[in-house]
Amino acid sequence: MQVQNATDICGLTPGLRGGASPHHVPSAPAGIQHTTVAREATPAFNAYSPQRQRPVAPPATLRSARALFVSVVASVVALVAAPAAGASRGQYGGTLRVALTGELGQTDPLLSDTPTDATLLSLTTRAVCALDREHRPVPTLALALDRESPTRVRLTLRPGLRTSDGVALTAQQVAQAWMRASQLESRSPYRALLFPLRGEGRYLSPASTLSLSLALAFPWPDLEASLCHPALAIAPSDPHHLPGPGLGPFTPTRAIGIDVANWGYPGGRPYAERLFATAGDQRTAARTLALGEADVGLGVTADGLEAVPPAPALFATYLAFQPGRTGPGFRDHLERLVDRGDLVRIFVRAPSVPMSSLLPPALMTQQPAPHGVSRTPPPGRELTLLYDAAIADQRAVAERLQVKLHDAGYQVALKAVSRTTLRARWADGDFDLMLHALLLPPLPAPALAVVIDAAGRHDLLAKELPAIGAITHDADRDARVRERARALQPQLAFIPLYAQSLEVVRRPEVLGIEADAFGLPQLDGAFFASPPEAK
């Protein structure tokens, strides 16, 4: 085998998958002794860096080179393997058909925070890194994330990357994508992920075309992991600050819902040649699966399909309120009247769990729900509850809250709005009540930062985060976060309700789907158990 250039070694060669999907390793052919080489704990931090249990994983170049060697050996041996062995290996080709509940067409990473939207967007747009099962950052679009000191990180992009519309990916594009989180027209609670940076990440300046030096205002050991959040995916913007196509395992076409394999993706091309997604309500998606017109279902159940093991529930929904508009005693009335267990069991689709603490059960033990003390609200209190028109669960929950609050004397009107409008009303503080859902990071410290900002207390970040970031040991830092979450909860006008993960079902012949650290199914790892031409 002749290697033409460096891109062959880095996993860009069609037919070879690199490190973009760190959890997915196709099975070895039947009868072949497969030896797994453990990833060595290559230190990603120098002597300036605090000791960490979650170091940055080795760059994909080294791993792809090893994967290339293993792949070549396995391919040679597979030539003499039994024909039945083909059913256990990843098969390239075919069209993966996906049915989902919701809508298609969301292209802004800052607004694609439902699990379904984030899953679809991750097909065509990725962050500079991904988190493996141990929550270690694995460079994807980045060549390296180097911790030069406790308060400085250097991001180096892979050379030669281009977005699906041919734009060269540069450090300036990365900086612009991140700075959108703090800009007035696109302000987002995910800006809290960048708060440890000097200037809160609003004034990033690349050191070179492919290098971005990140200076921190205080030590924050979880910065690298924070940069892997799907909301910080790199989607270059046009002059009007609208996100454009990014660089992911698939390339979008002019037709909404149809993507084709990106053979130039740094982690290696996906198995499927095309991906075709259709959206609708739960009944429509279930019927599509039942008729055999889809191979994978997102957020839907159907008979005869196999469920992918559920991921941790990190999509958390809160009720935000303005104390000046609701009047005194609102929290007490809500806690007295609303049973989170009933709310989840009757009105929220599974997999879901009640959430009575500021962070979901995947991140902290839930404390007992407080029992509110009944008080009589001021007469004639009229409120409007805003919710996301694209999330069916939120409508059901809003209607339930409306009924329960009526028993306490509140007259609540419901108003469904677009996610863009919802986020703008949040940013301006222009609401009485609001259902606010967030895709939280799988690490307690950055998750708490996002929740504090979403609760409208951006001012608290400067007080809380430096003390948390000063704790270098992961377990001690996580314990401190949980302690502060319990202390802050009564102070925030942000009432936790429930957390969800994405339900994923597949036809038996579709293999290789695993969830990442954020609970999102990695569809670029999906392959058919039999050759696509036999389907």
443-465 pLDDT tens trace? 999 999 999 999 999 999 999 99
Task: Give the number of other CB atoms < 10 A from CB of residue 1.
Answer: 8
Instruction: Please report the pLDDT score of residue 181 as a whole number.
Output: 93
pLDDT tens digits for range 67-108: 444 444 444 444 444 344 344 567 789 999 999 998 887 889
Q: CA 236, CA 243: separation in Å to the nearest integer?
A: 6
Between strands 382-388 and 411-417, the pairing is: parallel
Of residues 27 and 152, the one with the higher pLDDT is 152
Positive/negative CA dihedral, 189, 137, 211, 3: negative
Range of lowest pLDDT (41-45, 375-379, 467-471) = 41-45
pLDDT tens digits for range 315-367: 999 999 999 999 888 999 899 999 999 999 999 998 999 999 999 999 999 98
Instruction: Please report the pLDDT score of residue 185 as a whole number.
Output: 87
pLDDT tens digits for range 242-265: 455 568 899 888 888 899 999 888
Instruction: Give first-to-last CA distance, the chain, whole Å.
Output: 31
List phi, psi (to 5°) of 446. -65, -30
Instruction: Please report the pLDDT score of residue 88 as a whole number.
Output: 52
pLDDT tens digits for range 364-390: 999 887 765 655 555 558 999 999 999
Task: Give the number of other CB atoms < 10 A from CB of residue 397.
Answer: 24
Range of lowest pLDDT (77-86, 193-202, 230-239) = 77-86
Report, in angstroms and rounded to the nearest whole number, the Rg of the chain calculated over CA atoms.
Answer: 24
Tell me if 64 sits within 8 A of 15, measured CB to CB: no
Of residues 73 and 403, the one with the higher pLDDT is 403
Q: Which helix (H) or strand (E) holds 215?
A: strand 211-215
Q: Which residues contact 57 (CB under 8 A, 6 or more apart)?
A: 22, 39, 42, 44, 132, 136, 137, 138, 139
Q: CA 230, CA 289: separation in Å to the nearest integer?
A: 27
* Length in residues, the chain: 535
Reported confidence tier of residue 412, pLDDT bands at 50, 70, 90: very high
